[in-house]
Structure 1
Amino acid sequence: MTTTDPAPPETHLPPPARPSVPPPPRWAVRAAQVAAWSTVPSGLWRVALVLGVPVGVMEREEFLAGFPDDSPLLALAYVLLLGAVAEAASYLTLGLVRPWGEVMPRWIPLLGGRPVRAGLAVLAASLGALTVTVLWWVLLFGGLLTADSPDPGVSAGEVLFVAAYAPLLLWGPLLAAVTWSYHRRFHLVRAARPGT
């Protein structure tokens, strides 16, 4: 009888583990949350304006005059679309501190489950931070500085308007800070990889 030694078990070494991305710092998570909520007050102010709620700075009819046939339906659609775009854009800030900012969610067609390209995310977020910072700082302060103000007093409507739009001034700088944190976290991963 011949016996053969059993073949030694094949040893498969797993590929080297990709270093995990460190969790975001607590300040970055809070900053991302504030940035995501910064667009809500102005959106609510615009909806109130279109619905005829007195907001003190502008009357509904004055706002509607900018639309064909003074259409409240068209104005409401415009305001809701503008609010939805701003909310969606500000919500993306959370991706810089959440797992879906590292790996695409599975439900996204063609991209689901793939790692996010950190460099592209940082570039897009940096451009977004620059854009919204310049946009809101120029629009808000430029509008306030060039507005005719025959009355030296401040009305309640003006206070409401500024309170609704002032949070937008935080969006760009907070997005920039969170983007820097995201970049730093991925930079640490690259530095930890062997052979880099």
Structure 2
Amino acid sequence: MTVRTILRKAHGRTAAGVPRWAVLVAYAIPLIVLPSSLWRIAGFVFHVPLLEFGPLPPGGHEGLDGGWWYVLLLSVVSEAAAFFAVGLVSEWGEMWPGWVPVLGGRRVPVMAAVIPAGLGALALLIFPYAMTRISLGLAIDDAPLRLVTHGWQTVIFHVMYWPLATWSPLLVLLTVHYHRRRTKKSFG
């Protein structure tokens, strides 16, 4: 089985008129989310020594609130959300799959894809902000950082998490392309 066959089965056929760069960007998005998910699972679920916990704030709890199942759920949901970017270049992003009740076989309204993708891209702007603050040793809310890394742990953390800073701009790029392609607006 070829890589192309595996990818076609995973996401369906590429929609007509989608350039190669857009397909590559769509596939890149789940891949840039994957390292952070693996880091979280390794560190919090399997207790690989990728981090240490700093002092607890008053009334704080040990570990990540919610436990190991929360980390697994967060990672799965993150990957699923990232995979939806593939819908912006696939046939299933233009036509509801037949198995979807009531909507199956109907065209997906352009704005039904553009609005959630645009709002998602806006929400994902937290990652460049958060990573910049963490790189400066600051938490997002000006509290002291509880997750502490040293030496190689810091390098691995940044290698695994900085790619998330590209998720929002890549999603914006795909969303604008999807909207223009579906509404037949030229890029010129």
Specify the TM-score bucket, using the shorter chain as the normaliser.
0.7 to 0.9
Instruction: Please name the residue that 1:165 is paired with.
Output: 161
Deviation readout 1:99-131 (Å, 9 max, x if unpaired): 000001111222221110112211211111111
- Deviation, structure 1 residue 37: 1.6
- What one-letter code is carried by the residue in structure 2 that aligns with 1:32? A
Report the Cα distance in structure 2 between the residues aligned to 1:83 and 1:169, rounded to whole angstroms. Answer: 16
C-alpha contact 1:103 1:115 (8 A) present in aligned 2: yes
- Deviation, structure 1 residue 85: 1.2
Instruction: Please name the residue that 1:89 is paired with.
Output: 81
Secondary structure in structure 2 of the residue aligned to 1:114: coil
C-alpha contact 1:105 1:112 (8 A) present in aligned 2: yes
- Deviation, structure 1 residue 66: 6.0
Give unmatched runs, 5+ long, in structure 2: 1-14, 139-143
Report the Cα distance in structure 2 between the residues aligned to 1:84 and 1:93, rounded to whole angstroms. Answer: 15
Report the TM-score, using the length of structure 1 for normalisation.
0.72
- Deviation, structure 1 residue 138: 1.4
> CA RMSD, aligned part only?
2.9
Instruction: Please name the residue that 1:123 is paired with.
Output: 115
- Deviation, structure 1 residue 80: 0.6
Instruction: Please name the residue that 2:28 is paired with.
Output: 34
- What one-letter code is carried by the residue in structure 1 that aligns with 2:86? L
Instruction: Please name the residue that 1:4 is paired with.
Output: none
Secondary structure in structure 2 of the residue aligned to 1:54: coil
Query: Judging changes above 3 Å, is the alpha-carbon distance between structure 1 residues 81 and 66 closer, same or farther for their aligned structure 2 residues?
Result: farther
Greater C-alpha radius of gyration: 1
Report the Cα distance in structure 2 between the residues aligned to 1:78 and 1:66, rounded to whole angstroms. Answer: 17
Report the Cα distance in structure 1 between the residues aligned to 2:161 and 2:63, rounded to whole angstroms. Answer: 25
Larger RCO, structure (CA 8 Å, separation 6 or more): 1
- Deviation, structure 1 residue 145: 1.9
Instruction: Please name the residue that 1:141 is paired with.
Output: 132
Alignment of 1:166-181 (within 5 A): 166-181=162-177
Report the Cα distance in structure 1 between the residues aligned to 2:175 and 2:120, rounded to whole angstroms. Answer: 10
- What one-letter code is carried by the residue in structure 1 that aligns with 2:121? A
Structure 1 vs Structure 2: percent identity of aligned residues? 38
Task: Give the counterpart of 1:76 among 68, 71, 74.
Answer: 68
Report the TM-score, using the length of structure 2 for normalisation.
0.75
Report the Cα distance in structure 1 between the residues aligned to 2:43 and 2:67, rounded to whole angstroms. Answer: 10
C-alpha contact 1:32 1:97 (8 A) present in aligned 2: yes
